[in-house]
C-alpha cells in the first residue's frame, strides 16, 4: 500500500505521526494489501479512541490496548487482526522511544533460579537456544510441582522428589522426549550441586530411560525413496523451489535442521563451492557444496527469496517475512514432502535424511570414521548407531559362499 493512499493524518488522533513509519515497517515484512488495510482500520479506531479518552502516545501500555479491545469488542472491525496489530504498534513505539519501555515484572525466586541456570547453559555449556528452551520447560515444571509459587527451598529436595517427577512425566512422552526430560532434570541437579545450592549431587538418582541403541538401526530411507522424495517436490512454485533446496541440503550434506535454519547468505562461498555451517554448541565447519545443491539454492535466491533485512538464506513465505524460528519448520518441510511423494516412514523429521545419507555411505563401503567426519560427530559413539545394518541390506553386498551347491 502506498502512503499517499492513506486517509488524512488527523483521523488517527495522537497516532498520526507514527502511521507512515508503521506501514513502512509492515510492508517490508511482506504483509498483503488486505492485511495492511485491516491494520489501518484498527489503528484508526484505536487512535480515535485514544483521543476521546484523553490519552497520549506516551500513555500506551499492554493494559491500555486490552482496555480498548474490551470496550470495542462489539464494533465492526477486523477483530482477529487487532491484538497482533496493536502489539506490533506498541513494539515499534517503544523501539523509537515514543512510548516508555514496559515495566519488567519482578521475577519470582524460582524464575531467578531458572534464569541463572539458562545463562549457565548458554555461556558455560554453549547449548543452542532450542535445547535451552527445552530444558527450561522441564525445570520450571519440576520447581513448580515441588515448591508451587513459593520460594524454592532446595534443602528440602530429596531423591524421592526426583524419581517421582520423572516417573510421573516420562511415560507421557515418546522415547526421545522422555530422554530429553531426564537429561534436563539431571543437568539442572548437577548445576545446583556445582553452584553449592544443594549439599549432594542428586543427579545420580535420576532414573534412566530405556534405550536399546543397537537393537535396530536408525530410521532411514532407501536411496530410491530419497530420489522419489526429491522428484515429487513441486518446483513450479517459489515455496516448492525453496523446499527443494532445503531437502537437497539435508539429503546431500546431512545437515541438521537447526543448521539449515541458521544458514546465512555470507556462509556460502560460491567461488570455491563451499558452505560454512554453525553446528552444535556453536562449532563451525566448512563443507563442499555439490553442484546440484548450489544450483537449487542459487535459483531460490535469484528468483524466489523475498526481499527483507534478514540475512538468513531460507525465509518464511508468509508475513512477517523472516528466517525460520526453529528446526521444527524444517522438519515440517520434510513431513509435507514425504506425504506428497507418498513415501511411508516411521520417522518424519529432518534427521531422517541425515540418517539416510549415512546409511547410503555405509552401503557404498564408507568406514564409520568417514561417516562420523562427514556428519561432524564429536565422538565415535554417535556414529556407532549405524553399526546395526539390516540383514537384507547386507545380503545385497555379500558374495556367494565358496563351494555352494546350486
Q: Which residues are catalytic?
A: 256, 280, 351, 354, 377, 386
Torsion over CA: 286, 287, 293, 294 (sign): positive
CA distance 184 to 143: 12
DSSP 377-389: -SSHHHHGGGG--
Question: In angstroms, rounded to a whole number, what is the distance separating the alpha carbons of residues 271 and 285?
Answer: 17
What lies within 8 Å, CB to CB, of 299 at 6+ separation is 241, 245
Q: Can you tell me whether residue 222 is helix, strand or coil?
A: coil
Angle at 60 between CA 54 and CA 65, to 5 degrees: 95
The Cα–Cα gap between 150 and 144 comes to 9
Question: Shortest CA distance to 227 belongs to which of 392, 58, 341?
Answer: 341
- The rounded distance, in Å, linking the Cα atoms of 148 and 150 is 6
Which set of grid coordinates corresponds to residue 208?
A: 534412566
DSSP string across 242-292:
HHHHHHHHHHHH---HHHHHT-BGGGEETTTTEEEEE-GGG-EEEEE--HH
Q: Do you know the residue count of the chain? A: 406
What CA–CA distance (Å, rounded) separates 340 from 166? 38
Helices then strands, each counted (H, E), the chain: 17, 3
What is the separation of C-alpha 127 from the centre of its chain, rounded to a whole number of angstroms?
Answer: 14
Give every CB contact of residue 29 below 8 A, 6+ residues apart in sequence. Answer: 308, 319, 320, 321, 322
Spatial separation of the C-alpha atoms in residues 291 and 305, rounded to whole Å: 20
Please say whether the dihedral angle defined by the alpha carbons of residues 36, 41, 46 and 48, taken in this order, is positive or negative. Answer: positive
Q: What are phi and psi of 312, to 5 degrees?
A: -65, 145
Amino acid at each position: 500500500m502506498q502512503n499517499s493512499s492513506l486517509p488524512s493524518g488527523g483521523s488517527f488522533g495522537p497516532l498520526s505521526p507514527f502511521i507512515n513509519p508503521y506501514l513502512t515497517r509492515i510492508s517490508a515484512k511482506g504483509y498483503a494489501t488486505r492485511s495492511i488495510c485491516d491494520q489501518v482500520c484498527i489503528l484508526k479506531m484505536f487512535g480515535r479512541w485514544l483521543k476521546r479518552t484523553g490519552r497520549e502516545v506516551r500513555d500506551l501500555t499492554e493494559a491500555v490496548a486490552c482496555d480498548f479491545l474490551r470496550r470495542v469488542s462489539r464494533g465492526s472491525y477486523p477483530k482477529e487482526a487487532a491484538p497482533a496489530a496493536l502489539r506490533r504498534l506498541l513494539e515499534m513505539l517503544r523501539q523509537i522511544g515514543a512510548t516508555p519501555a514496559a515495566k519488567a515484572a519482578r521475577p519470582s525466586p524460582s524464575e531467578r533460579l531458572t534464569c541463572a541456570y539458562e545463562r549457565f547453559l548458554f555461556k558455560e555449556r554453549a547449548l543452542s537456544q532450542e535445547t535451552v528452551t527445552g530444558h527450561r520447560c522441564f525445570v520450571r515444571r519440576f520447581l513448580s510441582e515441588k515448591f508451587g509459587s513459593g520460594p524454592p527451598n532446595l534443602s528440602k529436595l530429596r531423591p524421592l522428589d526426583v524419581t517421582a517427577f520423572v516417573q510421573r512425566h516420562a511415560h507421557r512422552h515418546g522415547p526421545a522426549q522422555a530422554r530429553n526430560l531426564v537429561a534436563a532434570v539431571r543437568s539442572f541437579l548437577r548445576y545446583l550441586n556445582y553452584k553449592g545450592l544443594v549439599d549432594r549431587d542428586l543427579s545420580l538418582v535420576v532414573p534412566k530411560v530405556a534405550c536399546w541403541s543397537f537393537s535396530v538401526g536408525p530410521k532411514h530411507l532407501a536411496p530410491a525413496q530419497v530420489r522419489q522424495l526429491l522428484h515429487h517436490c513441486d518446483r513450479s512454485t517459489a515455496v516448492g523451489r525453496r523446499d527443494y533446496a532445503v531437502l537437497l541440503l539435508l539429503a546431500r550434506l546431512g545437515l541438521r535442521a537447526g543448521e539449515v535454519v541458521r544458514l546465512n547468505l555470507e556462509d556460502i562461498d560460491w567461488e570455491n563451492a563451499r558452505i560454512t555451517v554453525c553446528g552444535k554448541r556453536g562449532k563451525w565447519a566448512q563443507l563442499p557444496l555439490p553442484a546440484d545443491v548450489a544450483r537449487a539454492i542459487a535459483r531460490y535466491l535469484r528468483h524466489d527469496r523475498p526481499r527483507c533485512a534478514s540475512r538468513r538464506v531460507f525465509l518464511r513465505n508468509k508475513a512477517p517475512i523472516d528466517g525460520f524460528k526453529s528446526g521444527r519448520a524444517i522438519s515440517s518441510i520434510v513431513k509435507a514432502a514425504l506425504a506428497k511423494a507418498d513415501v511411508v516412514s516411521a520417522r518424519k523429521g529432518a534427521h531422517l535424511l541425515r540418517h539416510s545419507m549415512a546409511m547410503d555411505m555405509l552401503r557404498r563401503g564408507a568406514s564409520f570414521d568417514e561417516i562420523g567426519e562427514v556428519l561432524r560427530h564429536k565422538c565415535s559413539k554417535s556414529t556407532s548407531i549405524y553399526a546395526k545394518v539390516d540383514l537384507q541390506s547386507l545380503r545385497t553386498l555379500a558374495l556367494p559362499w565358496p563351494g555352494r551347491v546350486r
